[in-house]
Amino acid sequence: MNKGTILVIEDDKMIQNLMATTLEISNYSFQIASNAEQGILKAASYNPDVIILDLGLPDMDGIEVIKKVRSFSCVPIIVVSARIDNDDKIEALDAGADDYLTKPFNTEELLARIRVALRRKNYSGEESIQSSVFTNGSLRIDYAQGCVYVEDKEIHLTAIEYKLLCLLAKNLGKVLTHNYIKKEIWLDDNGCDSQLSLRVFVTNLRKKLNASDYIKTHIGIGYRMLQVAGDSSSGS
């Protein structure tokens, strides 16, 4: 059974073959592009469910590919790159990538990242049609009422905590950089939008949710809301 179509934009033949074998065994259909021009064309032509993108392409930097794809598509983009600096990861995520995996990579981890991207894509599609309620494990957010519940008990959040939680929930599975979160939460530069302040709000939010497994810290980069096992996130 075909689980979805993956577009791999990668110029290294060995990695192309590794990804092709991995995807085929896992019942994904796939397209391979060896350079940026081919990749952008196939992204527009084949409407893939997920793009796996190398940054070090021969004809264009991968960051520019992300920007060009984002001009016409919201398809999840997973960067798989040998660039390990946090600045490179932040630049890719701020440009519009959804996830970042460094080379050398474990194929099982890559498949897990693909599954997360597909779940997020499917959830976003459902939410756009109907959804005033977000559920993830024992966490429930009622957007219409502006209420948050954990194990059916209402949790009282500050306005900023609620806004932060909703931002993470609506980007389930996606790494949000510090800069992106601060721009979304604090619209003005009033001195409250420091990285320290953001860390404090995340810490308080974790305490109030009485769980640390909802929000994952990516040190030096940002935060991600994880899908908690035992419940599929969905709207109702």
Model pLDDT, residue 189 = 47
pLDDT reading at 128 higher than 80 = no
Task: Give the pTM.
Answer: 0.67
Residues 169 and 207 in one domain: yes
Residues 178 and 97 in one domain: no
Per-residue model confidence as pLDDT tens digits over 142-185: 887 889 999 989 999 888 889 899 999 988 888 899 988 888 88
Domain residues for the domain of 82 are 5-122
Number of domains in the chain: 2
| pLDDT confidence tier of residue 129, bands split at 50, 70 and 90 | very low
Helices within 79-146 (DSSP H only): 86-95, 107-129
Q: What are phi and psi of 200, to 5 degrees?
A: -65, -45
Q: What is the mean pLDDT of residues 47-58?
A: 95
Environment class of residue 51 by beta-carbon count within 10 Å: exposed (0-12), middle (13-18) or buried (19+)? Answer: buried
Residues 16 and 65 in one domain: yes
Residues 100 and 160 in one domain: no
CB contact at 8 A, 67 and 91? no
Residues with Cβ within 8 Å of 24's Cβ and at least 6 positions away in sequence, in order, are 30
Residues 192 and 220 in one domain: yes
For residue 164, the domain's CATH number is 1.10.10.10
Model pLDDT, residue 233 = 46
The answer to whether residue 235 is domain-embedded is: no
Q: What is the mean pLDDT of residues 91-103?
A: 93
Domain boundary among 99, 122, 145: 122
Residues 89 and 185 in one domain: no
pLDDT reading at 194 higher than 70 = no
